[in-house]
Structure 1
């Protein structure tokens, strides 16, 4: 991720209005260097803030600046205040009133740093707003324009944090790990592509959920998944007891290479969904009920019996629907070693669904991401918003841990 090309702001087309503003700036400020531009921006921001505060003062006093009034409170000149911003420090003339009761909302009395606007922009970005929506919102609230390029530059400051987070040390053992994917549309060199964001979520020794990494991938393969799993090893992961995923291409071979003792568990929810793709709507409810008799069987022997019955019942109508159950039985059967209560901890991706819901909200906000880097920034922020609530262990963790300790002796530290 550190080597990704930095997104470059592309200026909007030059208009007559822009040309006039630029000519006015050149005449007003005698601009010759980049430093002169910076000084001009500071001066303009200072003036903008002063005008906003003058409007606030009108509202506070109840009459306009040049209007006569018999009210006891009135304007009492201005007071200079040194302010820090992203453009550097500058002076602002803050309006004063005789009663000293005026306190600006734009620039409160004790506030000397307006660069916190960055935090607001990042917060809006985290909620899935596009750079254009953020720019428009800032202008609506504060009355001055923040370009889409500036929003992008501010969120680019997250990239070192993302890299640090992606490379942080991990625990040596994760009893359960999930891999799931959410798909996004991303523009790449003018072409819109569908990319999958793969979320690797671990359940640690205390039963708490933890996002281990997020990778944006295009072509799945054993080599691809081996690199993902090896990155976890390089960050300190020595053992995974159960890895639950959908039928990702090449994942099985990658697991056996990177973590030979890890047991792969196919996500039953995905198995059911993928099976019902072949089924007519009128038969879905009954078919799903029959599938449930397989994965809720008390043991593998009974599960195989139910698999045979379900296949025989539906094969005449849907000859290929049950093929994936037979072909992937070795990755379905591990659940039958455990009690029904414990199975639900890892045969579905329920643990990751709330996180995926946050990611899908990004899709609703943005039909297309401007780049894979913009997607990563949004995913990172959405992850941190969603995981703030992850303070408790998953349901029935004591029982889950107990059975895992028995089934995989000496692999979970005491």
Structure 2
């Protein structure tokens, strides 16, 4: 919450969406700082966690059934796909199905957004890749002289990403631009 409040104080005032991996307290902290923003739980994390609790022989079938939920084109279709998933798997994997039911709204938040960007916003994979690259960069430097040295490497790595990303067009966002503008205007 402190980091989010710091971002707010430094000028990040209008946020449409926060995407989180389900870490306890993170979504609540985000909503306390950005109450008008939507919260999206990372679907990839949820699928991964579910499949880890499913028998090996059922994993492919369960994964395919879950895809029908998060790849549906409308929220109604996604809910219908979940109901089918629930009927099929609730006897065998009651806890996992209940967990999906409990989190379904926050897992399907991305359905409010334009179709062209949904596959980008239902996961935290881009953030995780960045963190993985920073760790990889720090790990090769066997010993850093201080915390400041590690911070400098992290800063330079992020600056490198900023440079790459500032010229990069994210797939689908140009098509979604107008709809996102309208969402901002409506909300803020």
1:342-395: CA deviations, max 9, x gaps? 212311224335423412423753689787555434322332334432222312
Q: Is the 8 A contact 1:276 1:321 kept in 2?
A: no
Higher share in helix? 2
Write out aligned runs for 1:386-401 (5 A): 386-390=161-165, 391-401=167-177
Which structure 2 residue ranges, 5 or more long, are not aligned? none
Structure 1 pair 403–283 and aligned structure 2 pair: CA distance change class (3 A)? same
Structure 1 pair 241–286 and aligned structure 2 pair: CA distance change class (3 A)? same
1:129-170: CA deviations, max 9, x gaps? xxxxxxxxxxxxxxxxxxxxxxxxxxxxxxxxxxxxxxxxxx
Write out aligned runs for 1:340-351 (5 A): 340-351=115-126
CA distance in 2, matches of 1:369, 1:281: 42
In angstroms, what is the RMSD of aligned CA positions?
2.6
Write out aligned runs for 1:373-384 (5 A): 375-384=150-159
Q: Secondary structure at the match of 1:244?
A: strand
Write out aligned runs for 1:11-410 (5 A): 226-362=1-137, 365=140, 375-390=150-165, 391-410=167-186
CA distance in 2, matches of 1:373, 1:328: 40
CA distance in 2, matches of 1:386, 1:352: 11
CA distance in 2, matches of 1:275, 1:267: 12
Q: Secondary structure at the match of 1:260?
A: coil
Bigger Rg, structure 1 or 2 = 1
Q: Is the 8 A contact 2:116 2:173 kept in 1?
A: no
Normalising by structure 1, we get a TM-score of: 0.41
Q: Secondary structure at the match of 2:6?
A: helix
Q: Is the 8 A contact 2:117 2:171 kept in 1?
A: no
Structure 1 pair 281–376 and aligned structure 2 pair: CA distance change class (3 A)? farther
Structure 1 pair 301–234 and aligned structure 2 pair: CA distance change class (3 A)? same
Q: Is the 8 A contact 1:405 1:411 kept in 2?
A: no
CA distance in 2, matches of 1:320, 1:263: 26
Q: Is the 8 A contact 1:296 1:340 kept in 2?
A: no
Task: Report the CA distance between 1:243 and its aligned residue.
Answer: 0.8
Task: Report the CA distance between 1:401 and its aligned residue.
Answer: 1.8
CA distance in 1, matches of 2:93, 2:145: 42
Q: Secondary structure at the match of 1:236?
A: coil
Structure 1 pair 262–359 and aligned structure 2 pair: CA distance change class (3 A)? same
Normalising by structure 2, we get a TM-score of: 0.83
Which structure 1 residue ranges, 5 or more long, are not aligned? 1-225
CA distance in 2, matches of 1:366, 1:282: 42
1:272-321: CA deviations, max 9, x gaps? 11111112233222211110101112222221221121122222332212
Q: Secondary structure at the match of 2:94?
A: coil
CA distance in 1, matches of 2:120, 2:44: 12
Higher share in strand? 1
